[in-house]
Amino acid sequence: MYDLTSFQEDLRQLYQDGAQVFDIGYTYLGRPIPCVFKGNPDGAQILIHASIHAREWVTTPLVLQMMKNYDGACGVWCVPMVNIDGVLLCQQGLSSISQSGLKEFLLDVNGNSTDFSLWKANARAVDLNVNYNALWGKGAQNVTYPAPANYIGQFPFSEPENVALRALTERVKPAVTLSYHARGNVIYKAFSCLDPNPDGAQLISNVTDYPLFDTYDSTGGYKDWYIATFQQLGLTIEVGDNDVPYDKLIDTLPAIYERNKNVLSTACKIIGE
């Protein structure tokens, strides 16, 4: 298990090794959302984030390992655990929630099951990756009520985690964004009729050996919003084999990292730094 203690130790190590570590905002339950920066703050920038879906927490140690080994010329901003409340709920269950009323709400949303290991949403039962203002609510799997997955929220950017990530993106104005998810070993690009830099997307596909797919029917995700807003290369990278349970993906982390170890340096080359 990669728990909160492991996460904090990785952040501490990165800071000790010279990276900038700071908070970009707070979750619904008031937990700080850390960000790590390495590289050159001038010129083209890259933004990478992980664990926007709770059960996909294997992506956090993955991107932090990528940051530890990064020594390129680009500035790289990494938000390694966007959905901290959701990850802790997924890993620890209701013991991670102190408010009694919220415990009852989440238990009800989860079908009165105390097993939250497949939970995707945040602590308000909003799926953060369908809460962005990019054809919000138009996805085929979207639901309009609190749920473990796919609930779009009351309005776009209703969740503080997404407000924080949006603010960082608007401040940094990255030339490439990389959204890490699990599972599938695929890369998704494009949004609606927009497909910025398909050649760059193909380069990332080449170095990971993940096949590349268009997602013209995707809505409400961070990648979708980023492409619609900045019209630059945004990718969703799904790591891990589909036949491995989410909580066992951590056992395959070395193999996952091996396929992704050159992603940041390749992204740098794409933007010419």
Kindly tell me if the per-residue pLDDT of 141 is higher than 80. Answer: yes
Mean pLDDT, the chain, integer: 96
22: helix, strand or coil: strand
Within-domain flag for 91:
no
- Output the pLDDT for position 215: 81
State the number of CA atoms in the 13 A half-sphere of 3 facing the CB: 6
- Output the pLDDT for position 3: 94
Q: Does the bond joining 12 to the residue before it have cis omega, within 30 degrees of 0?
A: no
Within-domain flag for 144:
no
Pairing label, strands 233-239, 75-79: unpaired
Within-domain flag for 112:
no
Within-domain flag for 96:
no
11-38 tens-digit pLDDT: 999 999 999 999 999 999 999 999 999 9
Within-domain flag for 231:
yes
Kindly tell me if the per-residue pLDDT of 52 is higher than 90. Answer: yes
Within-domain flag for 98:
no
For the chain, what is the domain count? 1
Query: Is 259 buried (19+), middle (13-18) or exposed (0-12) by CB count in 10 A?
Result: middle
pLDDT confidence band for 159 (50 / 70 / 90): very high
C-alpha span between 156 and 102 (Å, rounded): 22
Kindly tell me if the per-residue pLDDT of 216 is higher than 80. Answer: no
Mean pLDDT of 154-159: 98
* Percent of the chain whose pLDDT exceeds 90: 94
Domain at 38, CATH number: 3.40.630.10
- Output the pLDDT for position 273: 58
Within-domain flag for 13:
yes
Mean pLDDT of 159-179: 98
Domain that holds residue 200: 4-86+128-139+159-270
224-272 tens-digit pLDDT: 999 999 999 999 999 999 999 999 999 999 999 999 999 999 999 999 8
- Output the pLDDT for position 156: 98
- Output the pLDDT for position 140: 87
Mean pLDDT of 132-136: 95
Within-domain flag for 153:
no
C-alpha span between 175 and 27 (Å, rounded): 26
C-alpha span between 25 and 34 (Å, rounded): 8
pLDDT confidence band for 217 (50 / 70 / 90): confident
253: helix, strand or coil: helix
Partners of 191 in the beta sheet? 194
